[in-house]
Amino acid sequence: MFGPACIQPEQKGFRYHGFSEDCLQLNIYSPKRKTLNGNLPVMVWIHGGGYVTGSATLYDGLFLAAKGGVVVVTINYRLNLFGFFTFNNNIAKGNYGLWDQILALKWVKTNIADYGGNPSQVTIFGESAGGFSVGLQSLIPQNKGLFQRVIAESGVANSFLSVGKTNLTSILVAGDAGCRLDPLLRNFQAVLKCLRSKTPNDLLQAENTFAKGMSTSIHLGIKYAPVVDGELFSESPADILRNKNSSAFTFFSSLDIMVGNCNMEGSLLLLTNAAVEEKYHLNISTGFPNTFFCKSLIPTLSADFFQSSSKVSEAICQEYGVLNNISEQSRQVLEMYTDLFFIVPAVSTLMSHAQSKSRNTRYQYVFTERSPRPLGPPRPSWYRGAGHVSELLFLFGIEDLYLFNITVPPKDFVLADKMKAYWSNFAKTGNPNMDGLPQWPQYDVREQQYLTLNAENIWSNSSYDSRRTSFWIDYIPSLLKKHS
């Protein structure tokens, strides 16, 4: 019997088994064996959902476990206000959802042998906020021994989206719940006591009130997120990856890592709501005009992440701006989002790992196949590419699509089987390759090789999106430094 999901706004179209504050449960999928001898590799899945929604029960690990010969564990962790509320001080440090993940990993370490798993051969993997979480857990040296390998899908620790910078959302939502912080009295304890007196529904209502007040915002950060708390993290993920002498980097470099993305993660921008469309005179089905991109979206982005630099705004507009072709401009808006928040952090993470003295392995993939059951918002006619979450059905659930009267092309089943093999092989040895699969070369500093995953073909190449990666990694920082 599946347990309830953690408290969150309910999403239509997803199978939940109720909601509860008592939600820290996990699901285990073991291959059918006559004897479970405790030697099978273990894969622990951390779900995505922007740190706000999601549940372990949405991911059926049965086929991955059976075809890969691994034990698959899917876990819950507290979400939104319940998991990531913070005052950025010792009264409410935040990161409760990350502590939940660590607790689950400790449970796996202690108990998974009873289900056929090897507690010394654990891979953590996750997508989106789950990818961010996987990346963040890989920077916590206290986690040594809890896992040995990492698969980060559509999210890594040093993305601007993986961590939050302020406690403003928490303070504002607390105010909407009737628990107001006085900036002069700094009555943090009283606010916390007030919040604890509220019901879960009260807090969800406060979140809803806050969301309505922000309905016309075009800020691209995540509402709730982990923070640098002085306990799990003493500095930002980006700084950790630059500080090669830290214990956090030493732990990170001791892990085998696989990092990848869908080639159009920017499909998330298609979630732009009606209030934003009305305010900025947009119609997403038609696309994003150049004026909106260069005059509204980019200055907001620059204010949030690049010190409000007008030079950075101009550079991004010049790089991704398109005149007199709204379809191509719209695709470039999504490309910009894809590059900045997903591709570039993935490449810099891989590069940091490759530059370490570690002999551990690292692999990069780019997923380009359209999902047989597209998730998320409708795709306009101008849209191209494999959107955010497109790879998930190939790992979890493609076998069940017949229940939704969806016909899956045979080539999609073939790709799904190959992906399950790559993922489980990596969990077993740190190397995804095996006879019968297209060769996946390891990522290194010089070649920067990656694998493209597509139902028509699987092939390797070098230096994905290198010109634009250099734009963000080299040119933009030099521009900021020059004009600061």
- Residues that are catalytic: 128, 265, 388
End-to-end CA distance of the chain: 58
Look at residues 413, 289, 266 and name the one whose alpha carbon lies nearest to residue 335: 266
Separation of alpha carbons 95 and 85, rounded Å: 8
Phi-psi label, residue 123: left if phi above 0, alpha if psi -120 to 50, beta otherwise: beta
Query: Residues with Cβ < 8 Å from 34, sequence gap 6 or more?
Result: none
Query: Residues with Cβ < 8 Å from 107, sequence gap 6 or more?
Result: 26
Q: For residues 316-330, b (16+ Cβ closer than 10 Å) or e, as one string?
A: bbebbbbeeebbebb
DSSP state of 231: S
Q: From the CA atom positions of the chain, what is the Rg in Å?
A: 22
Beta strands in 116-235 (DSSP E): 117-127, 149-153
Contact present, 224 and 80 (Cβ < 8 Å): yes
